[in-house]
Amino acid sequence: MMASAVQAAEPSGDQSAGPISVTSLTPAIGAEISGVDLGSADIAAFVPAIRAALLAHKVVFFRNQDITAAQHIAFAGHFGELEIHPATPRDQPDPEILRIAHGPESRGKENYWHSDVTWREKPSLGSILRAIEVPPVGGDTLFVDMHLAFAGLSSEMQRFVTGLTAVHDIARVFAGRLNKAPADLHERFPPQEHPVVRTHPETGLPTLYVNTAFTSHIKGLSREESDWLLAHLYATAANPEIQCRFRWQPGSVAFWDNRASQHLAVSDYFPARRIMERVTVAGCKPFYRSG
């Protein structure tokens, strides 16, 4: 693995806090960050370095983080406004947290490449997932760099897909999970149109922005053409050379950039238990800017 140091600001009154360490998981995507306690009262001092690592690596991981739900929410709040997912129970004490629990009565359902909440007008900047309980083996999460997925297309295909618009629909996944009719979900979350290739608002890099979970079709193409093209674009995520794989431990935390990556939760651990909690940072409306 490759290692580098990123200097964080010294927390006031704490001379023992030095630089955090950022160690790449693969040449393409992913890095582990050590030397920081996400529950610390001085965590704000480390936020610029963590943001820089997130932009550089698309997903960053932290080990041995013994944090509370309140600290989880507080850490995420340093990166922007927080979302409340419609799948969160209304009477839950911490509505910002989406609890994802599977076990003997519930097989994992997130085993497909996707970016979170692309059905929103302003989809997520990033998601911060904390491991509460993990199986003894299995239940890893894979991540893929969608800028490199775009870069791997031929120049002619890049030109063709740039400027196309795709429709993203919450009902494709959550109509069944929430036991609601698509029309009922669409009253609050109507299908959204986003560019097939979006410009990352901070790095300026182009990334493929369609996913198997929420993208329903590409505007202006026949159903057959749209299905074929989407299948071709989805397949770019299957390249292991632009992926990383993370093995969870209790207390592990992953923070991924939904604007630049996709992820897949491997559902190979049934009937073991896997309990995770996610807080999602709101983002901006996707756009494409040439050059």
DSSP code string of 138-169: ---EEEEEHHHHHHTS-HHHHHHHTT-EEEE-
Count CA within 13 A, CB hemisphere, residue 51: 17
pLDDT above 90 (res 16) = no
Q: Quick one: pLDDT at residue 263?
A: 97
Least confidently predicted of 87-91, 168-172, 213-217: 87-91
pLDDT on residue 85: 93
Tell me what pLDDT residue 13 has. Answer: 32
Identify the pLDDT of residue 289: 93
pLDDT value at residue 259 = 98
Is 221's pLDDT higher than 60?
yes
Q: How far apart are CA 81 and CA 275, in angstroms?
A: 24
The pLDDT score that the predictor gives to residue 109 is 84
pTM of the model: 0.91
Domain boundaries, the chain: 3-282
Q: Which CATH number fits domain 3-282: 3.40.50.150, 3.60.130.10, 3.40.50.970, 3.40.50.800?
A: 3.60.130.10
Residue 91 confidence (pLDDT): 85
The pLDDT tens digits for 112-142 are 999 999 999 999 999 999 999 999 999 999 9
Q: Is it the case that residue 6 has pLDDT exceeding 60?
A: no
**What pLDDT band is residue 11 in, cutting at 50, 70 and 90?**
very low
The arithmetic mean of pLDDT across residues 278-290, rounded, is 96
pLDDT at 7: 35
By CB atoms closer than 10 A (0-12, 13-18, 19+), residue 196 is: buried
Residues marked as catalytic: 114, 116, 263, 278
- Mean of pLDDT over the chain: 92
Encode pLDDT of 224-266 as tens digits. Answer: 999 999 999 999 999 999 999 999 999 999 999 999 999 999 9
Task: Provide the pLDDT confidence category of residue 24 given band limits of 50, 70 and 90.
Answer: very high
Task: Tell me: pLDDT of 288 over 80.
Answer: yes
The pLDDT, as a whole number, for residue 186 is: 94
The reported pLDDT for the residue numbered 9 is 33
pLDDT at position 2 is 42
Helix (H/G/I), strand (E/B), else coil: 257: strand
pLDDT at 3: 44
pLDDT of residue 176: 86
Output the CA torsion 277→283→289→291 (10° steps). -60
Q: What is the model's pLDDT at position 75?
A: 98
Distance (Å, whole) CA 47 – CA 77: 11
Count of CB atoms situated within 10 Å of the CB of 154: 8
Edge-to-edge strands of the sheet including 141-145? 243-246, 141-145, 261-265
What sign for the dihedral angle of Cα 204, 278, 7, 5?
Answer: negative
Using an 8 Å Cβ cutoff, are 129 and 184 in contact?
no
